[in-house]
Amino acid sequence: MRLYNTLTRQEEPFAPTAANTVRMYACGPTVYARAHIGNFRTFTCVDVLRRTLKYVCGHDMRMAVNYTDVDDKTINGAIKAQESLRAYTDRWIAAFRTDSDALGIELPEETPRATDEANLQAMGQLIADLARNGHTYERDGSIYFKISSLPEYGRLARLDHSGMRDGARVDVDEYTKDDPRDFVLWKASKPGEPTWDVGAGPGRPGWHLECSAMALRLLGEPPIDIHAGGIDLIFPHHENEIAQSEGATNKPFARFWVHIDHLFVENEKMSKSLGNVYTLEEIVARGYRPSALRYLLLSSHYRKQMNFTWAGMDQAEESLRRIVDFLARLETVTVEGSVPAIVELVDGARTAFRAAMESDLNTAAALAAIFDLVRDVNAAIDARAIGKADAAQVAALIDELDRVLGVVSLRRAEDATPPVPVAEIEQLIEDRKAARARRDFAAADRIRTELADRGVLLEDGPSGTRWKKK
């Protein structure tokens, strides 16, 4: 497999260093609000990377995705809500897990919280190691990382060292992206804020420190294989993670850095002032299904800026429906036997899909391989040039490829919980069949319309009537 490495600005062949296990860290959500679709573009693409490494490349996975549950935003949110930090962040972690499950995102092996005791202790040890190596200083009870102590600082973001402000400090968790400064590792206690003491004095961790400590604690000796996240995290967050981790261990932190580009909405940057910051909950409220959003989010290359549109959601729904309807059509094939040409189509589609995904996750080309197969096999069904064994092989291939994309399985899971009880749907189908038998077509149409209004579509075919969610 070849992956683009932000650190080297080029594609490189990838293989894990520790036997067959990929050690991978991805920056998770800051849990102060519901994640929006821009966040989920990153998490969906990271999920597809994980699935490709597992199901295409055959690697085992050791992956951590964290919850940032202590920073300026979470603390201020908890104070405003008049809740404890733990109760406040618990609520948003639960919302994130609900949305992730709805989007078919696999649960990684580790989902650490920054405020877990073991992680806080790891942060204290990291600060001690940095101090021993001469990379820290203390001011007013806070501990800072001195960027001038690390000559390699800035290589991920390609920073100009002449513009760095030696000795200028910043103690907020987020700061301007064109002003490199010494950043806070441990913030001194303030009235009303949660406080811990892990050997660095009473206070709480800075945002950047959290990820370094958790990655090193959970994934073992550096360098880890892959560190992933949104492109907006390259600086300062990922640059500072490198500084902390390498300053403490004197070893490279991560071999590959993978970054997912921005999501725009109707050609505009997402912002609350424009009212275009959408959550999954809001997408569903507009009548769309999570499977369609997942399809849309993975339909373009992860390193390209993506433009979310409602027309794009309609197209995603239609594309996904085309695959599902094709799978249903395969079930109508009744001719026994097998045709060599279909076997060739299956082998060709598998090869094209694998080549696309191994080429820096080219999901657009991978989907094209699937739709080429759908087109050619549909033509074979029309010509009655396909047998039942072929149809089963084609369906099995779609399932195999969908282990990576995760859209068909997600649609099936949605269909398994229809808005109308299955027993009621089946009874209404029988009632409609009886109405048509007695030529009461008005009653049959009423049943179809009633189900459509309730979110269930009926489709008549040679083998009878099938239903699906709208």
**pLDDT, position 197:** 96
| Residue entry with tokens 């996904």 | 320
Q: How does pLDDT run across 385-443, given as a tens digit for each residue?
A: 999 999 999 999 999 999 999 999 999 999 888 788 888 888 999 999 999 999 999 99
Token pair in block for residue 314: 């309609």
**pLDDT, position 176:** 64
Q: What's 272-415's CATH class?
A: mainly alpha
| Helices and strands in the chain: count of H runs, count of E runs | 15, 15
Concatenating the DSSP letter of every residue in 287-355 gives T--HHHHHHHHTSS-TTS-EEE-HHHHHHHHHHHHHHHHHHHHHTT----S--HHHHHHHHHHHHHHHH
Is there a shared CATH topology between the 2-260 domain and the 272-415 domain? no
Q: Are strands 224-230 and 254-260 parallel, antiparallel or unpaired?
A: parallel
At 409, which helix (H) or strand (E)? helix 408-415
Q: Are strands 10-13 and 263-265 parallel, antiparallel or unpaired?
A: unpaired
The contacts of residue 267 (CB under 8 Å, 6+ apart) are: 307
Token pair in block for residue 34: 């519901």
- CA end-to-end span of the chain: 38
**pLDDT, position 468:** 80
Helices 408-415 & 290-297 angle (0-180, nearest 10): 170
At 230, which helix (H) or strand (E)? strand 224-230
The residues with which 258 forms a beta bridge, in sequence order, are 228
Residue ranges of the domains in the chain?
A: 2-260, 272-415, 422-469
Helix, coil or strand: residue 179: coil
Question: Can you tell me the distance from the alpha carbon of 121 to that of 123, in angstroms, rounded to the nearest whole number?
Answer: 5
Select from 2.40.160.20, 3.40.50.300, 3.30.70.150, 3.40.50.620 the CATH code of 2-260.
3.40.50.620
Query: What is the b/e burial string over 306-325, where b = at least 16 CB atoms within 10 angstroms of the residue's CB?
Result: bebeeebbeebbebbeebbe
The residues with which 13 forms a beta bridge, in sequence order, are 2
pTM of the model: 0.90
Average pLDDT of the chain is 94
**pLDDT, position 173:** 80
**pLDDT, position 178:** 66
The contacts of residue 63 (CB under 8 Å, 6+ apart) are: 22, 23, 24, 25, 26, 50, 108, 109, 110
The contacts of residue 336 (CB under 8 Å, 6+ apart) are: 387, 388, 389
Residue 189 carries which DSSP code? P
Please answer whether residues 95 and 32 qualify as being in contact, where contact means their C-beta atoms are separated by less than 8 angstroms.
no
Please answer whether residues 94 and 67 qualify as being in contact, where contact means their C-beta atoms are separated by less than 8 angstroms.
no
Within the chain, which residues score under 70 in pLDDT?
Answer: 163, 166-167, 176-178, 463
Helix, coil or strand: residue 87: helix
Question: Can you tell me the distance from the alpha carbon of 427 to that of 447, in angstroms, rounded to the nearest whole number?
Answer: 11
